Amino acid sequence: MNAENIDHIGVAVENIDQAIKFYQEVLGMKLVHFEVLEDRGIKVAFLTGQNGETAIELMEPINHYDINNTVAKFLKNRGQGLHHIAIKVSDIQKSLEELSGKGLQLIDTKPRKGARGHLVAFVHPKSAMGILLELVQPQE
* Alpha carbons 74 and 12: distance in angstroms, whole number: 8
Amino acid at 91: D
Gyration radius from the chain CA atoms: 15
Q: Which of 42, 134, 135, 137 binds Zn ion (CB under 5 A)?
A: 134
Span interacting with Zn ion, options 8-16, 19-27, 30-38, 122-130, rule CB under 5 A: 8-16
57 binds Zn ion (CB under 5 A): yes
How far apart, in Å, are the Cα atoms of 21 and each of 17, 27, 53?
Answer: 6, 9, 20
Span interacting with Zn ion, options 33-41, 64-72, 79-87, 99-107, rule CB under 5 A: 79-87
Q: Please provide the size of the chain in residues.
A: 140
Compare residues 35 and 98 and give the one whose CB is closer to Zn ion.
35
Compare residues 1 and 9 and give the one whose CB is closer to Zn ion.
9
Span interacting with Zn ion, options 29-37, 54-62, 74-82, 101-109, rule CB under 5 A: 54-62
Compare residues 12 and 25 and give the one whose CB is closer to Zn ion.
12
Q: What are 19-26's contacts with CB under 8 Å, separation 24+?
A: 19/45, 19/58, 19/60, 20/45, 20/47, 20/58, 23/47, 23/56, 23/58
Residues that bind Zn ion (rule: CB under 5 A) add up to a total of 4
Residues making contact with Zn ion (CB under 5 A): 10, 57, 86, 134
